[in-house]
């Protein structure tokens, strides 16, 4: 089990990859600290640059994974100091983090959140090390029918758990699937949704899709809110940043419980840090809030979501590496990065490309230590990032987006398509749609179609093959339960209360 990890540390400890892990952690913290940027935009902007620089696959993935985990750390800063979440995963951090800052405890709150993030991420990385190779061995037995059923389960899980409105989540996923079908059908040669444009015969490129959907739409939102004051006020004084041992021990139960909850939720396809943060906070409030202090500056209320969202970020690598199913919107982008290098994530990657799988997991251990070392003494420096004016930030993001796409394609058509997708993403966000289901649908739709075709080819067109095996039948039942229970449970509770 640990042979791949030893080989992975050999890859991750090379001077180039150590430098990239440090750079990814630093850039990720900065991206996470800036409200609205977050890990997806950071990865989307830098992914084409990493590819065009000729970095090896394992090195590019180490850099991008460092940005992902670093952004989870950085998202807490604007949540605590300004009451503005850096990304969706940091929403619950505002509930107790900002009240602590108002009480003059901004520095200790930042220090505690860094320690909580470290604890949660460490638990999840240990879980990833232990369970990913075992799950990969099981997944080798999956055929096309089982993979199709797994993707149905992923879509059901995403519809129920991602976003506030399951209907909008499902619509977003369908839109992503439709966008993924653009181009020449590889099975029949039929043109789909190309509208007579030869530029669309190869489909919509993943990098163009990602940068347009996230970066360009974010730029448009920033321009719209250019004159709006989002924060509660100026950055409060930090004071001491290092958290005391007494404060850490006071929160140890919240950190450990929430880290475990975050890892389990992160492993489920289509969930992510926002779900983990919400579940862990409500669970910890029920268990620990005897004095009614949660929501008014309780350190346990800060430690719980911070531990959970970092654990979920590391846990989301489990389905991506072992099954080829992204555990979150950000891992969907990382999945696309692997596809740029013609690497198919899944159970065979541990045997065919152990340097990629092992190097990534080993780099998470290293990156987690680097992030703790960066975020404790340099919290005040990172906090100054929040003062960057929009007239500097917006052009900077725009330049990186345009350069990244043009370097990869050297074609103005890709630029125009990126802008069209950006406007489309902006309109979706204005209508209250989350963009993560769209990108998950885009990534999973093609894989789902391929596995459906293979399964039906094997069976000679018999549909029963899709649920004939025990594994696929279990996944179909689990998907149906996920869709029915949220609708059924409130009715059962209402009926029980009526009888009482």
Is pLDDT larger for residue 265 or for residue 489? 265
Confidence of residue 15 (pLDDT cuts 50, 70, 90): very high
pLDDT at 244 over 50: yes
345-379 pLDDT tens trace: 777 787 788 888 888 888 999 989 988 888 877 77
Mean pLDDT of 330-341: 82
Element (DSSP H or E) covering residue 191: strand 191-192
| Rounded Cα distance, 75 and 69, in Å | 10
What is the C-alpha to C-alpha distance for residues 198 and 436, in angstroms, rounded to an integer?
A: 28
What count of residues does the chain have?
500
Q: How many domains does the chain fold into? A: 1
The number of beta carbons lying within 10 Å of the beta carbon of residue 282 is 14
**What integer pLDDT is reported at residue 498 of this predicted model?**
64
Enumerate residues 6+ apart whose C-beta is below 8 A from 488: none
In tens, the pLDDT along 166-187 reads: 788 888 889 999 998 898 887 7
pLDDT at 42: 83
- 233 assigned to some structural domain: no
Confidence tier at 232 by pLDDT (50, 70, 90): very low
In this predicted structure, the answer to whether residue 197 has a pLDDT above a threshold of 70 is yes
pLDDT at 169: 83
pLDDT in tens, 266-305: 887 766 677 788 788 888 888 887 888 888 888 888 898 8
- Within a domain: residue 398? yes
The angle formed by the CA atoms of residues 151, 433 and 77, to the nearest 5 degrees, is 100
CA gap 199, 239 in Å, rounded: 56
Query: Would you say residue 233 has pLDDT above 60?
Result: no
* 424 part of a folded domain: yes
**Integer Cα distance of 118 and 114 in angstroms:** 6
Determine the pLDDT at residue 226: 62
* Sequence-distant (≥ 6) Cβ neighbours of residue 333 within 8 angstroms: 40, 43, 44, 47, 64, 210, 439
What pLDDT, on the 0 to 100 scale, is given for residue 426? 93
pLDDT of residue 495: 64
| Residue 30 lies in domain | 3-226+239-499
pTM metric for this prediction: 0.77
| 234 domain residue, yes or no | no
The answer to whether 399 and 163 have CB atoms below 8 angstroms apart is no
- Residue 144's φ and ψ, nearest 5 degrees, are -60, -40
CA atoms within 13 A on the CB side of 222: 22
| Mean pLDDT in residue range 394-413 | 80
- Check whether 420 has a pLDDT greater than 90: yes
Calculate mean pLDDT across residues 314-332.
82
pLDDT at residue 419 greater than cutoff 80: yes
Average pLDDT across the chain, whole number: 82
State the pLDDT at residue 237.
65
The Cα-based distances of 137 to 128, 202, 256 in angstroms read 14, 34, 28
């Amino acid at each position: 089990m640990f042979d791949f990890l030893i080989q992975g540390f050999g890859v991750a400890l090379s001077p180039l990859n150590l430098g990239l892990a440090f750079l990814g952690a630093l850039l990720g913290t900065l991206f996470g600290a800036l409200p609205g940027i977050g890990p997806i935009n950071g990865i989307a902007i830098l992914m084409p640059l990493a590819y065009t620089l000729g970095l090896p696959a394992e090195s590019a993935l180490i850099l991008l994974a460092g940005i992902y985990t670093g952004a989870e750390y950085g998202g807490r800063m604007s949540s605590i100091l300004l009451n503005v979440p850096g990304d969706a995963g940091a929403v619950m951090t505002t509930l107790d983090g900002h009240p602590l800052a108002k009480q003059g405890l901004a520095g200790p709150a930042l220090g505690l959140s860094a320690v909580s993030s470290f604890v949660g991420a460490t638990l999840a990385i240990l879980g990833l090390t232990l369970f990913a190779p075992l799950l990969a061995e099981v997944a080798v037995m999956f055929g096309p029918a089982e993979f199709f059923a797994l993707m149905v389960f992923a879509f059901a899980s995403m519809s129920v758990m991602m976003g506030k409105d399951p209907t909008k989540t499902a619509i977003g996923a369908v839109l992503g699937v439709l966008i993924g079908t653009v181009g020449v059908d590889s099975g029949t040669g039929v043109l789909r949704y190309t509208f007579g444009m030869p530029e669309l015969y190869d489909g919509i490129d993943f990098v163009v899709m990602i940068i347009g959907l996230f970066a360009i739409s974010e730029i448009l939102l920033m321009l719209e809110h250019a004159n709006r004051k989002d924060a509660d006020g100026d950055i409060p004084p930090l004071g001491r940043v290092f958290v005391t041992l007494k404060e850490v021990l006071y929160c140890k139960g919240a950190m450990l419980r929430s880290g475990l909850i975050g890892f389990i939720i992160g492993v489920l396809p289509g969930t992510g840090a926002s779900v983990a943060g919400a579940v862990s906070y409500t669970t910890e409030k029920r268990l620990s809030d005897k004095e009614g202090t949660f929501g008014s500056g309780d350190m346990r209320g800060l430690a719980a979501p911070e531990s959970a969202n970092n654990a979920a970020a590391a846990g989301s690598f489990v389905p991506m590496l072992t099954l080829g199913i992204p555990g979150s919107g950000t891992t969907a982008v990382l999945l696309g990065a692997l596809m740029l290098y013609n690497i198919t994530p899944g159970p065979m990657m541990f045997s065919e490309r152990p340097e990629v799988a092992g190097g990534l997991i080993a780099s998470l251990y290293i990156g987690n230590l680097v992030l703790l070392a960066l975020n404790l003494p340099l919290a005040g420096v990172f906090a100054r990032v929040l003062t960057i004016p929009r007239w500097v930030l917006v052009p900077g993001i725009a330049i990186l987006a345009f350069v990244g796409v043009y370097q990869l394609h050297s074609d103005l058509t890709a630029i125009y398509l990126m802008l069209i997708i950006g406007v489309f993403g902006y309109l979706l966000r204005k209508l209250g749609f989350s963009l993560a289901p769209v990108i998950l649908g885009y990534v999973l739709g093609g894989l789902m179609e391929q596995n459906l075709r293979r399964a039906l080819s094997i069976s000679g067109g018999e549909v029963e093959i899709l649920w004939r095996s025990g594994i696929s039948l279990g996944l179909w039942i689990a998907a149906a339960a996920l869709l029915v229970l949220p609708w059924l449970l409130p009715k059962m509770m209402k009926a029980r209360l009526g009888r009482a």
